[in-house]
Structure 1
């Protein structure tokens, strides 16, 4: 559904380019691999002039993880710290990339801990890095 959102909803029939791949493992070294649930390359077209730069989007997707009582006893959150760490690593390796956390859960069903973890990552991404710009816009 997240891929469809980018491909159909955001595009809305415009002449934008979207390419995607689901369930990819990126290798940074022999024993250094990071998995992304989906990767998108998205480029907005403009009527006149040069097209916008291509944007790289990494996504972590969950369905209804922890949706029923039995599962909630075993799984507290859809997005745990390992998910956050993986996405942060991808943002570090691919400066300026967009990170997406998507779930079928309603926003009010996310735990305070999940929201805090994702918020902390968002604040890190918006913070100033050594070059003086934000990590999100290198």
Structure 2
């Protein structure tokens, strides 16, 4: 089972038995809501892209907010990590102008706002768990 499919099964364990049971799943799909059915179709595509197709319109019609973000993340991960189609990924969630700071930049920002922090002090507080966990860790 592919990693992306496994992530779907973690959220929807009841879909696991339907992944390979294509013949009997037609009636069983009526038992699931539109969100579950959309993720079942996506999981089937991940497992057998040569046999199964997936209509992106399903995501548009049946998913929103967190579910849509989760599905798009799965699709990106699938094509990056589980196929040979994207060999040198260039897409990054960090864009120019993003509001992410390194530890040094964060310390400087705090100092500008009147709090006396340098990088070493901030690092010590981070190690002690007194500073919130970072939104993003690179390297």
Per residue, is there more strand in 1 or in 2?
1
Taking structure 1 as the reference length, what is the TM-score of the superposition?
0.29
TM-score of the pair, normalised by structure 2: 0.29
